[in-house]
Amino acid sequence: MGRNKVQNSILTVLRSYGLTVLRFFLMRNRIVIFGFLVMLLLQGCSQKPFTFVQLSDPQMGFINDNRDVEPERELFTKTVEYINRTKPAFVVITGDFVNIRTDATQISAFKEITSLIDKNIPVYLVPGNHDIGLNPSGEEIDFYLNLYGYDRFYFTYGGVGFAGLNSCYIKAGTSQEQEQLEWLKTAFAKHKSNRNVIFLHHPFFANDINEEEAYFNLPVEKRKDYFALFKANNTTSVFAGHHHNNASGSYDGIDMITTSSIGKQLGNVKPGFREITVFPDFIVHRYVEIE
């Protein structure tokens, strides 16, 4: 079999099975073999893979009912230590930085620990409902922007576009939602990225795009409109938080991945964050528990 056919075969397997293939080889101590396969794959790639980290809901103060921030400080600090050790391309924090949006101690602790991330690793933020409000008023929006500077972003890295949205506008249906939507369409048109990845606090849905609207997802009538826009602009993945638990689903070929909190849990997983690796033709990710 020619080299190109070997590489294409490996790519097909990895695209189909992703981390399952990795676990298969690691469980059988076939690390050398797997490394050889990955080497063959990468030799045929014009674009090198890269890794980034998504963390969500540190929500300083939540664990001890706002009496202190020490449990979150410890967990967040361990996350930062991992980030500084592994040096991802960038970090995205998908909201709920604090439990009480105006609490000076919680805000200070979040900013202090975030500032410990290596200055060579860019950090991007989108707000959660605990940062800007469930139905943000003008005062709440101004308060947030004065603290953090922005509530959305778009940048490119390695030929991929990354967009962060303020999902509180979408959830509440405020006038700012339409303005943000037009901004996103303009960003898509301007950059014309081969692929796009979206970040926001609220997931559009946990498992099924047709599931009923609840506190933990976005309105049913908006989901397919947004996903049609994403599909038209080569979006492959949407990453969110808010659940304090992990969840996953997909619609029309676009993955909807919900990442649990690095702080207090509302499900059965341990505190953790998501490590995502972008290959030229696909994305793999894993949830990393904080020891």
Distance CA 78, CA 72 (A): 10
> pLDDT at position 46, please?
54
DSSP label at 98?
B
Cα angle vertex 158, ends 157, 159, to 5°? 90
Instruction: Write out residues in the chain with pLDDT < 50, as ranges.
Output: 1-38, 40, 42-44
The domain segmentation of the chain, as residue ranges, is 3-43, 50-289
Per CATH, which fold does 50-289 belong to? Purple Acid Phosphatase; chain A, domain 2 (3.60.21)
pTM, two decimals, is 0.85
Instruction: Report the SS3 class of residue 283.
Output: strand
> pLDDT at position 7, please?
46
Cα angle vertex 226, ends 224, 227, to 5°? 60
Residue 86 makes CB contacts below 8 A (sequence gap 6+) with 51, 275
Instruction: Report the SS3 class of residue 249.
Output: strand
Distance CA 132, CA 45 (A): 42
Pick from 142, 157, 151, 228: nearest CA to 183: 151
